[in-house]
Amino acid sequence: MRIQILLVGLLFLIGASFALGHLTDEKLQNFQYNAELVTVAPIVDGYLDDPVWEEVLPGKLNQEIVNGSQWYESDDFTGSFKAVWRGGFLYVAIKIQDDHFSKYHSKPFREDQLVLHIDEYHFQRKADVNSYAIPVGVDVGPWKAPLTSIAWGSDGQSCEISFRLGDIAEKDNAIGFSIAYHDVDNGHLQNKIAWGPAGYIEQEEMLPDLVFSASINPNEQQKLIRWGQIKRLYK
């Protein structure tokens, strides 16, 4: 009987320390976006009409990272992203809706911003060197590597971004990745809404994973090749 109590106590202690010490890591480990390999890269023009974007699932921006609560889609803000890879490049498409677009006027805290982290060496930590503060609707580049280009649609509600990652963009490899929207309405920062696991907050230094996956089927490849050729005729 005493042994049983001791064993139960021991198991409880192990369980508690694991849960307390690894809670966030655990959630992050189970939280990732799979970017799919595509045969023809999307055209980085800000318009998400490339067929590749129809084939892949979105990651939703539904975590408020100032207070750590779930964000529900609303007129105030709704956003999502998709990502694919091809030939050493990662392509990210972002769709946002905002009731008040506060456009770029060189005052970072008075404008809507996308804040991305891309940790290509998978240190899994946020750092200035791997973060990008991107004003909505304009390309204020040049950007530091590995970001190579950004294009916005004319309404400022969609954009495409490419990152040159070379050998890092390889099947089953993982990088640290995060994406957040800083929503300024009527001159005031209202919310920061991110793609992240439940309970994720801004102060959390760990980044979720983006994994390079490959499971394309040949029929889709045909369609994509045609689309790439057709669209280039009009460029």
76 is an interface residue for Ca ion by CB under 5 A: yes
| Stretch 171-210: interaction string toward Ca ion, x if CB under 5 A | ------------xxx-------------------------
Residue 5 vs 230, nearer CB to Ca ion: 230
- Alpha carbon distance 101, 147 (integer Å): 24
CA distances from 74 to 61, 78, 99, 124, 214 (A): 12, 6, 9, 31, 34
Type and span of the H or E element at 182: strand 174-185
54 is an interface residue for Ca ion by CB under 5 A: no
Figure out which of the listed residues 27, 60, 95, 100 binds Ca ion, where binding follows CB under 5 A. 100
Q: Which residues of 86-95 are buried (b: 16+ CB within 10 A; e: fewer)?
A: beebbbbbbb
99 is an interface residue for Ca ion by CB under 5 A: yes
Q: Which stretch binds Ca ion (CB under 5 A): 30-38, 76-84, 124-132, 200-208?
A: 76-84
45 is an interface residue for Ca ion by CB under 5 A: yes
Q: Which stretch binds Ca ion (CB under 5 A): 7-15, 63-71, 105-113, 225-233?
A: 105-113
Residue 77 vs 89, nearer CB to Ca ion: 77
Q: How far is the CB of 185 from Ca ion (least distance, A)?
A: 4
43 is an interface residue for Ca ion by CB under 5 A: yes
> Which residues does 39 contact at the CB level (< 8 Å), separation at least 6?
86, 216, 220, 221, 224, 225
Letter for the amino acid at 2?
A: R
Residue 136 vs 175, nearer CB to Ca ion: 136
Strands 209-213 and 32-37: parallel
Q: How far is the CB of 205 from Ca ion (least distance, A)?
A: 27
Figure out which of the listed residues 98, 111, 119, 204 binds Ca ion, where binding follows CB under 5 A. 98
Residue 56 vs 174, nearer CB to Ca ion: 56
- Alpha carbon distance 139, 136 (integer Å): 8
Q: How far is the CB of 116 from Ca ion (least distance, A)?
A: 17
Which residue has 């508690």 as its token pair?
16
The encoded tokens of residue 58 equal: 């979105």
CA distances from 66 to 21, 74, 203 (A): 22, 18, 9
> Which parts of this chain interact with Ca ion (CB under 5 A)?
42-43, 45, 47, 50, 76-77, 98-100, 102, 112, 183-185
